[in-house]
Amino acid sequence: MTPPPFRETGTGWFVTSSGWLITNGHVVSPAHRPPEWLARQQTQKAVTQACGNEAGTGRARLEPSISVLLANGVRLPARVVKYSPPVAGEAMSGQDLALLKLDAADMPALSLADSAQPRIGDRVHIIGFPGVVLSHELLNASAKMDASVTSGAISGFKQDRANQPVIQTDAPAAWGNSGGPAVNDAGQVVGVLTFVTVSSDGGGEIVQGFNFVIPAATVAKFLTGTPVPPNEPSRFNGAWYAALRDYFTGNYRRARVELAEANRLLPDLPDVRRVTIDNDERLKREPLLPWTPVAVGMLVVSAAGWAVLLVRRRMRNRFRIPPAEVLRLVEGPDPPTLLDVRAAETYARSPVRIPRSLHVPLEALGNGVPAVPVDPARTVIAYCT
């Protein structure tokens, strides 16, 4: 007989893009180290299925497996590389971690935050897949692929019974969130959700506002000695972050290219699809030409042209003096030398003659006049048309 399978679900997150994933130890323990009660439970299910209400005996042969369901619906097998069980006798604890390996690449990875940074009152956001959403009768199947985000603040720094540090937060969480990352406003992982508080009156109700997170420092220590490559780059992260940056700054055309690259690396992620649809809608409402940049560019070009003209005019006129200044110098105690450098034909046709001036054609000056009767120590004023 094959009884209905026992399933344990939780949340995990990629610590690197090459398929290394962190979750809680208790999430994978039924498959990694099946307990005796699980074998007895499955045996009883098989007996009940075969014999109904009649008595019967048997023995279950367990076939455990671990798989990771990505947000795009792809299911990948995973194996446990490192396992830290909860404290003996406790359902969950501050050393409740497991490191899984998937045969994958270019996964969306989250980096660990500096454990010295969190303080009481800091905002924290828990990402996960609570069971109440996965099994809600009013939601369609696509809801299982969308992560839920609950927000709160760090409300305390505690220790479990094994003296392992845990962070207390009032961010709501539920069954299924176990192993999910708790991130700060910068998107860095400050810890991993490990357990929620249950009422002690026997009702088993979850007490919200008293949930606990394994600190990032404990996770980093857990990864020490493992093959997890530190600071591994992620091509998906590069394309996704660039797309979000351009999307939020209004550069929708460039964001479209980067969103397409992110979708190529990891197709059909809900968040990528959602942003792509909204980006395309905004792109349709965008004018054919970016008139604001065009107008700014035209103003810049016009200002540059006027600046060039002003500079050229200034350079051309930097040695010019007005006629009144010429008269003042001529009537002064040290009159300047006046040169009339008009062309020979122009000088011959013009009735204008400057008193006490010397006529030396400009072309003659350019060719080098053998001797110009000018005192080098005196100011020279040249006149031309």
Task: Note down pLDDT in tens along the chain; length 385 residues.
Answer: 888 888 888 999 999 999 999 999 989 989 998 888 888 888 888 888 777 766 777 777 889 999 999 988 899 999 999 998 876 554 445 588 999 999 999 999 999 987 667 889 999 999 988 876 666 666 666 666 788 899 999 999 988 877 888 899 988 888 788 899 999 998 899 999 987 655 445 555 555 667 889 999 999 999 999 999 988 989 999 999 999 999 999 899 999 999 999 999 999 998 999 999 999 999 888 766 667 788 889 999 999 999 999 999 888 888 888 888 888 888 888 888 888 888 888 888 888 888 888 888 877 776 666 667 777 777 887 887 6
Closest Cα partner for 261 from 251, 248, 250, 276?
276
* pLDDT tens by residue, 164-213: 888 999 888 887 888 999 999 988 999 999 876 554 455 555 556 678 89
